[in-house]
Structure 1
Amino acid sequence: MTLAFGYQLAATWLELHPEASASQLVEFLEEESLRARVAAAEVYVATGKTSEEGALALLERESRSYRDLMRNELSTGALTPPTAGDR
């Protein structure tokens, strides 16, 4: 998921579920992320680029690396959401 898509997905989900808690939103986004990673792993395996185990290991490493990057950007204030005009 790109960052802009993630913001749009979260914003739309919140519009559909205005009474939802932050933890419910996070749960939804985690589920969507898992679905995307599983689909990517299936593509890697289907195209013969790697085994199923190799694809899942690669996607897990990429996911941890991305979380580390986001954690760093959030802690330094370098991550800024798009403005309303960018959506």
Structure 2
Amino acid sequence: MTLAFGHQLAATWLELHPEASASQVVEFLEEQSLRARLAAAEVYVATGKTSEEEALALLEYESRSYRDLMRNELSTGALNLPTAGAR
């Protein structure tokens, strides 16, 4: 679901900004990612699960780990996405 949302977000933004460069698209998506991570940190803190500093550190660690995993999979050509209809 997250991948589909990201794709639709980027596609819609490009429809609204057809002259945008690739770096502008990446910048927009990075801004949206930051907003989502901050909202997640706020939820962690509001539910009393962690402090704000711990929540931000955890989300940053998860983001970097996920990016490392994506980099590895994309560089080897082995992006493991579920097939259509798989759950």
With the shorter chain as reference, the TM-score category is: 0.7 to 0.9
The aligned counterpart of 1:46 is 46
Task: After TM superposition, list the pairs within 5 Å mapping 1:45-64 onto structure 2.
Answer: 45-64=45-64
Q: What amino acid maps onto 1:49 in structure 2?
A: K
Q: Distance in 1 between matches of 2:9 and 2:22?
A: 14
> What is the match of residue 34 of structure 2?
34
Return structure 1 stretches of 4+ with deviation > 3 angstroms.
Answer: none
Can you list the C-alpha shifts for 1:55-87, whole angstroms capped at 9, x where unaligned?
Answer: 001000000011011101211223389xxxxxx
Please name the residue that 1:85 is paired with: none
Structure-2 separation of matches of 1:64 and 1:15: 29
- Identify unmatched segments of 5+ residues in structure 1: 82-87
- Runs of 5+ in structure 2 lacking a partner? 82-87
Report how many aligned residue pairs link the two structures: 81
AA at the equivalent of 1:67 = R
- In structure 1, the partner of 2:85 is none
CA distance in structure 1 between the partners assigned to 2:7 and 2:71 by the alignment: 16
Distance 2:30 2:2 in 1: 14
